Structure 1
């Protein structure tokens, strides 16, 4: 008996409302699966409908750092998120367009949301945001920014009409403390930001 012995048997729509036809971004699903013991079970899940055809990921998160004389600063955003009814502290992020690589999406989204022009330097393995709830996944892409370039002097974000994003930076070495401070002020901390902050603290503690 091992986790690898479990398998999905079938998937069907799960209608908690009369119809899911008006849902633009997600749909509810019921999964019939077999656990490692061979027992048939069910699971309720939310599923994105926006993943590009043939694509492996829904979107990208962007780890963008400004290297300043006073030390590296991470680019973060404040954005209201209706599901949690709070302004959330996030990294720049966005969905991948059809035919677009994770790196291309990251560079595009960074410019659209912050105005910064950068270059992708590292891409992580595929990561799942909340696999116990939904199938949404992404790659984190590290983007370097040359602040000396003319295009990074007079920033001009290209936000959509429905986007209201406030961009700010935090010294990487203070990220954990800043997350605690922002939480105390009523902000919600996105898991990617919180996990990154925790990782930095762990690296300090274990002197990695």
Structure 2
């Protein structure tokens, strides 16, 4: 896809004011210069970035199931179905974070990994990005949840996941994006470059 010339769309920061600094989120209000010479205000949240893992459980017959989680998400007040995910620690690579989150949340480690892409879930008001990884050759081990982290781990077929998306049972944006990736990977339309875990 040709995105064309973009200089006429670029905004430039003139000043920045810190609004809030918490354990996870850091909010700012910036004054920017618009391409037409006028000025505007932009409020946004700085986020360290995150990863999401699409774990594939494959059996001897060639059938595939995906590993999912159920977790209560306080801001929306409901239990959500999601793929394993979590934020980057300071200085941590996306791949190391993906391996850590899969192991901590589900107990699984993976023999092979493939980087699928990057998702920007909140482009209007956050710097957050989510690095998307696929994992296969799963081996079960102990979970190591963080204090206060309560979640159920379960498996579903790809068709069951897609049906949950269609019915509105799965509404988490990153998981909906992962379902699109999964559908295209399994159909052969979006091949992955699988690498052995280091």
How many angstroms does 1:168 deviate by? 1.0
Q: 1:71 to 1:182 in 2, by over 3 A?
A: farther
Partner in structure 1 of residue 37 of structure 2 = 38
Farther off after superposition, 105-114 or 67-76: 67-76
Q: 1:207 to 1:104 in 2, by over 3 A?
A: closer
Q: 1:146 to 1:134 in 2, by over 3 A?
A: closer
**Aligned-pair Cα RMSD in Å:** 2.7
Partner in structure 2 of residue 24 of structure 1 = 23
Partner in structure 1 of residue 94 of structure 2 = 102
Q: Which runs of 5+ in 1 are unaligned?
A: 15-19, 52-57
How many angstroms does 1:200 deviate by? 5.6
Q: 1:139 to 1:196 in 2, by over 3 A?
A: closer
Aligned residues: 182
1:91 aligns to 2:57 (yes or no): no
How many angstroms does 1:160 deviate by? 1.7
Q: 1:95 to 1:44 in 2, by over 3 A?
A: same
Partner in structure 2 of residue 112 of structure 1 = 104
Query: With structure 1 as the length reference, what TM-score do the two structures score?
Result: 0.75
Q: 1:88 to 1:4 in 2, by over 3 A?
A: same
How many angstroms does 1:60 deviate by? 1.0
CA distance in 1, matches of 2:114, 2:182: 18
Deviations 1:142-201 (A, max 9, x none): 222344xxxx2xx42111221001111111133221234462xxxx62112112334566
Farther off after superposition, 167-176 or 120-129: 120-129
Question: Which structure: greater strand fraction?
Answer: 2
How many angstroms does 1:125 deviate by? 4.1
Farther off after superposition, 39-48 or 94-103: 94-103
Query: With structure 2 as the length reference, what TM-score do the two structures score?
Result: 0.78
